[in-house]
Chains A and B, each alone.
Chain A
Amino acid sequence: MDWDVVRAAIPEFGKGLKVCLLLLALSVGTGFLVSIPLSIARVSANPWLARPVWLFTYVVRGTPLLVQMFLVYYGLAQFEAVRESAAWPLLREAWFCAWLAFAVNTTAYTTEIFAGALRATPAGEVEAARAYGLSGAKLYTRILLPSALRRALPQYSNEVVGMMHATSIASTVTLVDVTRVARDVYANHLLPVEAFGMAAVIYFTLTFTLVGAFKLLERRFLRHLATERTGAAAAAAPAPRAA
């Protein structure tokens, strides 16, 4: 181990970490907000609402994130209409394209998670709410969403951790995130263990910080499901997340 190289690279890794966290927060935040209406449409009995959302999540979940990002960043420039449009100054930016591709990608996965949680609503809860005269928007904001979003929490934490790992892919479109910094350190010093090992330590720490934060959220919001032994509800089974 060459500790001098590691020490010298710390400021760069710090900047990379900022890029990684900002990209994660922006895309997960957007994805969360857009997924709520989409998941309501996804479980709707009206096929004109449900089918387009199904198609959207199917296409996005069936293709690699890397390809989606290349489509946005390199692909859109192919069309003159895009290059001459008002959105071009944005679409030319790697930052904007990465955010767009990541947000669309996580929206598709999050929509399916929320839709699954909505479908798992006990029928009695809805019947009781209707009996009390709640309907439409009130039924959703007071009964369906609060319980569904709680139920979705364990799976949603997997999604957020998966997205955090996926931000490493942004290093392929010129964003200088943790992975890009590691690749630059490797290119300059040819020390793979120092360069990628450092990135690995950062991602590992981030993963368990996020997992810990979600555990706290679960303890807060899923208290009614807690058992005495674990103190928190059972977490979702670990599942891989698309690249």
Chain B
Amino acid sequence: MLLQGYLPAILQGLASTLTVAAVSLAIACVFGLLGAVAKLSKSRPARWAAETYTTLIRGLPELVLMLLIFYGGQILLNQLAEAQGWGYIDVPPFAAGTLTIGFVFGAYLTETFRGAILAIPAGQSEAALAFGMTRGQVLRRIVVPQMIRHAIPGFSNNWLVMVKATALVSIIGLDDMVHRANLASAATREPFTFYAAIALLYLAVTTVSIFLLSRLEKRFSLGVKQVQF
């Protein structure tokens, strides 16, 4: 039998791991873009807020942040709910997990996106503005399409680290691949088999991601001349 019949359960765990990773990535992109725009803005409070955000996140372990947001957020939310008379609110582990991971990696993506925006010559935006485009149009037509190309290497790295960081959500009770492996190990008393199996699945996700992201990078660099040494 494949993994003593636990293979389907483990694969469901994989789906859950990938869902957590994908949702966290979307959240991280939002935080990252906001952070990058804030860091590059003329407003001093915005720059200060973004600087505090990235410094704080880089100074703390993800696990501690996750526990703080999961348990602390729960109490904060319930104090708020009590004041408003809403009754008891349970923070779902999925929301806490994805929000934390997204919030943490948003700080790293802030730096990635900031660097990518700075890599675009300022003359291009100035020229677009001189042609009468609005700021929104400049962002959509000039900055973002080129920014993606510069951001892909940093983005790839963040994604690969993030997929592995999702393993931590099992600690706050999310039913991901690690949690499934814990259950199967306890039931069969063969922990090595199951932890090795999920390690291979993580490795497979990494390998497929690297392959796809390098193709994406080629796709977005089509119009760029590579230096030949």
Contact = CB atoms under 8 A, between A and B. Distances in A.
A63 interface: yes
B191 A74 contact: yes
B113 to A, nearest CB: 12
B167 A204 contact: no
A67 B111 contact: no
A200 B111 CA distance: 22
Given A169-B63, A208-B59, A237-B115, A74 B195 contact: yes
Interface stretch (B42-50, B69-77, B122-130): B69-77
A79 interface: yes
Nearest to A79: B192
Interface string A63-96: 1111110110011111100000000000000000
Interface in A198-243: 199-200, 203-204, 207-208, 237-243
Name A's interface SS.
Answer: helix
A162 B104 CA distance: 13
B57 to A, nearest CB: 10
B19 interface: no
A135 to B, nearest CB: 26
B58 A238 contact: yes
Interface in A158-204: 165-169, 171-172, 179, 182-183, 186, 192-193, 196-197, 199-200, 203-204
Nearest to A65: B164
A182 B206 contact: no
Contacts of B26: none
Interface of A: 58-59, 61-68, 70-71, 74-79, 165-169, 171-172, 179, 182-183, 186, 192-193, 196-197, 199-200, 203-204, 207-208, 237-243
A238 to B, nearest CB: 6
Given A70-B195, A207-B59, A239-B108, A62 B64 contact: no
Most buried by B among A66, A186, A240, A241: A240
A240 B158 contact: yes
Contacts of B203: 58-59, 62-63
Contact of B72 (A63, A76, A193): A193
Given A179-B61, A196-B67, A208-B59, A63 B192 contact: no
Given A179-B61, A204-B60, A242-B165, A76 B192 contact: yes
